Chain A
Amino acid sequence: MVLNRKEILERIRRGKASDNGSLVITPLLYEKEKEKDVFDADSVDLRLGCYFLLPKMLDRPFFSPDKSSATSLHVRVHVPLGQFLVVPAHQTILGATLEFIKLPADVSGQVLTKSSVARTFIVVETAPWIHPQYRGCLTLEIANVSNTPVLLYPGRFICQLILMHTARSSRNRKAGAKRTRNGEEKPDPSYFGPVYPEAPKFNDPQDDLLKIGMTCVSRLKKTQLDWKDEKWSERKSEVEEW
C-alpha cells in the first residue's frame, strides 16, 4: 500500500530518529502552509544535491566490475548551490539527493524521475528500489538521453520518492541478515549512511563465482598497443585464467 501525504507527514513527525517506525527526510525546505510544494498526494519531491560522480576516461578499452570499481570509474565533482553542471548529450552521471533519508523498518521506497524533468529527456534511476531501514542520501543515476546538453542545478527538484508499507515479518528479512541489539535488521554497512553519491562496490568476479563452486574464472587482460610496420596496432585481447 502506498503511503499518502498524511501518513508520510505523520511518520516524519513521529518520535525520535531512532524510532523504528520514524521516517527521516532532511533538510525539508518548504513553507509550513504550503506542504504541497514538497509533498504530493502520495509522494515526496526530492532535490538534487551538490556532489556528482562523472565517468572517467579509462586507460583500458573496457570496464570490469571488480574491487577497483569504487575508485576506477568515476571522478568526483562539487557544484555548490547557485551553480550548475552540464550533462552532455547521451551521457550518464551519478548524483545524489540533497535530502538524507532514513526509511522505517516497515516501509520500502521507490525513486522516480519527476515528470517535468523526464520531459526534458533526463532520466533518473534505473535501480530505483530502496529497502526498509535504508539511510543515506540516495545515489541517482542521471542520464541525459536527449541530443542536447542539459544544465542541472543542485537544489532543484529532480525526483520523487514513493513510499510503500511492507509487512514486517521475520520471513521477509534478507537471507543471512543480522539483527542489532534492539531487534532491527542490520542495514548493509557498505552502503550505510552515504552523504555523497556512491560508486558501486563489487567483489572480484572470482570471489563471487567461487561461492557457487566456480574455481576457474576467465578474465580479459589489458589490451596493449604494438608498434608494427610504422603504425600502432592493437594486440588482440587475451583471455587468461585465474
Chain B
Amino acid sequence: MQTGIAAFLHDAAVLYTLADFIEKYCKEQARSQRYTDASGDFFRYSQSVAHEVKERLGHDVDRAGNLPSSRVDTLRRNALTFKNYLRVLHTFIKPVADAHTLSIPAPLVELACEHLRQIQGMSGSRVAVLLTPLLMYFQRPHTHVKQQAETVGRLIPEAEEFPPRLGFIELPYSQGPGFFTNLAIYHEMGHFVYEELSTSTSPIAQFVSLAQATDRSLRRFTKLQKDAQLQRLAEKIIESWTQEVFCDLLALYLVGPAFSFALVEIFALLGSLSREKRVTFSQEHPAPAFRFAEHVEFLRNGCKWWSAIADVKPDQKKLLLEFSEISRRQYTVYEDDVPKALIAPFLDTIVPRIRELVRGIAPDATPAAERFSNERETIEDCLKVGVVPHSRVGGPPDPVSIINTAFCFYLTSLPDIVERFEGTKAAASAEKRSEWTRKLEDWTMKAIEDSQIQSQFERMQRDGPQQERNSRTHT
C-alpha cells in the first residue's frame, strides 16, 4: 500500500477519471436527449461538481509536493469526501439519464410538479424522475445527498449549489411512457413532501401535533415491550406506516379518485390483493384494505369526490368499497415481522393526526371534484369518438378532470370504443385492448399538454409577456 504523496497521487488520478467521466456523461446526456427542467438542472449541477472536483484535484496535486505529510493526509481525506459524494451522484445519474422525455410521461410529471408547488411550504419544488429496474415506484431520500453536497460545497466553494427543493422519484422502466399506473408518482411525491416537512427548521403545527401523537403511541407500546430492539423496530414501522397514509391522502387531495384506481391496478400487478395480503400489515406498508378504507373515507367525507363519481361503476370502485367494509378486527401482521399491538394505536391516535396534517397543507379538493362534475360529459364525449379532450367554450378542461374522466372511461368504456371502431372480435382481444389503452393514454397526455399550453397562452394574453416570463422564472 502506498503512503504519503504517492498514495495521494494515485487516489487523485482514480478520482479524476471518475469525475471526468461524470462530467462528460452529463454533458452528453443534456445534448443528446430532452429532459424535464428538474432533470436538466440535476445534470448541470452534477457536471459542475465533477468539473470543480477535477479543478480542485489538479490544484491540490500541484501543491502537494511542497506540503508536509500531515497536510497531504488532509488533502487525501478531502479527496475521499469528493469520492464518496461522486459515488452517490453516480447512482442517480444513470437512472435520471434513462428517464428522458420520450421514456416517461413528461406532461404528467410536469403537472405533478405544478401540483406539488401548490402544497403549503413547497413553493419552488420539483422532482427529477429516475427509471428503476424494479417493478415498483419509489422516492429516493434526498436529505443525505444534500448533507453531503453541503460538505463538498464547503470544501469547494466554486461548485454550484445543490438544486434547491429537488426531489427524486423512481418509475419502473416498463411503465415509463404509460399514463394510468404512473399516477403513483403522486404518492411518491408525498414522500418527498414528508421528508421536506420532517427536516424543516420551522415545522408546521400539524406536523408537530403528529409527532406528539406518534410519541404517545410509542410510549404506550414501550410500556408493554421492554426489548430495546423491538422498540426501535416499532418506531421505524410507525414512521413507515405514517408516511404511507400521508402520501396516499396527499395524492388523493391533488389528483382525486384516479389515484385510488391507479393503486388498485398496481397492487393487482404486484399480487398484493390476495385475501391474505389485503388485510396484512407489513413493516413498510399498512394493509391494502386499510389504505383503501382511508381512501373511501376521504373521498366520501373529506371532499365531494365520492358523489362526483357516484354513477361511475368500475369494478375497482366496488373493490374499494369492499375493502372499506372489512372490519379492523380482521387486520393482521406478518408473524415475527411486525408487532400486532402497533395497529390499534396507529389507527386510533396517529391516523387522525395525519388527516389533519394533509388537510392543513394540501389545497382543498372539493373545487376539483366540482370541476370534474361539470366537465366530465364534454371530456367523455371526446374520448368515445377518439378525440383528444378539449373544450369548445371557455378555457381548457382542468387537467384533474381530464385524468379522472379518462381513468373512469378506461375502466368502464374501453371495450365499447374498441368494438365501435374495430368490431366485437377485437374487443375480446388482449392485444387490441392494450393497443387502445395506449391510444387512450396518448389522448389523455396530449389533452394535459394542450391544457398547459392553452393556460400559458391565456395567462400571457391576460398579463402580457413580461408577467408570463416572471411566473415561469418563479416556478
Contacts and interface: CB of A to CB of B under 8 A. Distances in A.
B293 interface: no
B334 interface: no
Given A27-B453, A180-B420, A180-B421, A102 B34 contact: no
A27 B461 CA distance: 15
Main secondary structure, interface of B, reads: helix
Interface string B34-59: 10000000000000000000000000
Contact of B396 (A13, A27, A77, A80): A27
B335 to A, nearest CB: 50
B387 A78 contact: no
Contacts of A196: 442
Contact of B385 (A18, A178, A181): A18
Nearest to B102: A78
A13 B420 contact: no
A98 B387 CA distance: 14
A83 B20 CA distance: 28
Main secondary structure, interface of A, reads: loop
Interface string A58-95: 00000000000000000011111101000000000000
Interface in A1-46: 12-13, 16-18, 24, 26-27, 29, 31
Nearest to A30: B457
Nearest to B390: A26
Given A26-B388, A27-B390, A77-B102, 13 more contacts: A17-B378, A24-B382, A24-B390, A27-B450, A27-B454, A79-B34, A100-B446, A100-B450, A102-B385, A186-B422, A187-B386, A187-B421, A193-B386
A26 B450 contact: yes
Contacts of B421: 180, 186-187, 189, 192
Contact of B439 (A13, A26, A192): A192
Contact of A29 (B385, B387, B457): B457
**Which range contains the number of A residues in contact with the other chain?**
20 to 34
B423 A178 contact: yes
A85 to B, nearest CB: 11
A187 B382 CA distance: 16
Contacts, number: 82
Nearest to A32: B461
Contacts of B386: 102, 135, 187, 192-193
B422 A78 contact: no
Interface of A: 12-13, 16-18, 24, 26-27, 29, 31, 76-81, 83, 98, 100, 102, 135, 137, 178, 180-181, 186-187, 189, 192-196
Interface string B404-423: 00000000000000001111
Nearest to A50: B449
Interface of B: 34, 100-102, 106, 378, 381-382, 384-388, 390, 392, 396, 420-423, 439, 442-443, 445-446, 450, 453-454, 457, 461
A100 B34 CA distance: 23
B34 A18 contact: no
A29 B454 contact: yes
A78 B101 contact: yes
B382 A17 contact: yes
Given A27-B454, A187-B421, A100 B388 contact: yes
Given A181-B420, A193-B439, A81 B453 contact: yes
A98 B101 CA distance: 17
A78 B32 CA distance: 11
B218 to A, nearest CB: 48
Contacts of A26: 387-388, 390, 450
A80 B453 CA distance: 11
B414 to A, nearest CB: 14
A24 B101 CA distance: 27
Contacts of A79: 34
A78 B387 CA distance: 22
Contacts of B392: 12-13
Contacts of B390: 17, 24, 26-27, 100
A26 B423 CA distance: 28
B300 to A, nearest CB: 32
A83 B382 CA distance: 30
Contacts of A102: 385-387
Contacts of A13: 392
A186 B385 CA distance: 11
A98 to B, nearest CB: 8
Contacts of B422: 186, 189
A195 B105 CA distance: 14
Contacts of B387: 17, 24, 26, 100, 102, 135, 193
A28 to B, nearest CB: 8
Given A189-B421, A189-B422, A76 B102 contact: yes
9 contacts: A17-B382, A18-B384, A27-B390, A27-B396, A27-B454, A29-B454, A78-B101, A186-B421, A187-B386
